[in-house]
Amino acid sequence: MSRRARFSHLSATLKMLSFLRIHSGAALAIGLGVLVCPQISCLIPQDVNPTQTTPHEVPHFIVETIPSYLLPPILTLVRQGTQDAALSPPCHCRLEFDQLSVEENPTVALQARWFVDYDTTNPASVQAKLTQEIAPDLSDPTNTTRPLGTYLFDADQVGIVTSGVHIVEVLVGESVGFDPTSTTLPNRAMKPGYTAALYRFAVDVRVEQVVGQCPRTPPSHPVCG
DSSP string, 62-113: -GGGS-GGG-SSSEEEE--BHHHHHSSS-EEEEEEE-S-EEE--TTS-EEEE
pLDDT, tens digit (0-9, with 9 covering 90-100), for 63-108: 999 999 999 999 999 999 999 999 999 999 999 999 999 999 999 9
Amino acid at 80: Q
pLDDT, tens digit (0-9, with 9 covering 90-100), for 109-130: 999 999 999 999 999 999 999 9
Side by side, the strands of the sheet bearing 145-147 are: 60-61, 101-103, 145-147
pLDDT band at 222 (very low <50, low <70, confident <90, very high): very high
Q: Is the pTM value of this prediction over 0.75?
A: yes
Q: Does residue 3 form part of some domain?
A: no
Q: Does residue 80 form part of some domain?
A: yes
HSE toward the beta carbon, residue 152, CA cutoff 13 A: 9
pLDDT, tens digit (0-9, with 9 covering 90-100), for 202-215: 999 999 999 999 99
Q: Does residue 7 form part of some domain?
A: no
Q: Does residue 215 form part of some domain?
A: yes
List, in sequence order, every residue forming a beta bridge with 203; answer none if it has no partner: 75, 166
Q: Which domain holds residue 153?
A: 25-224
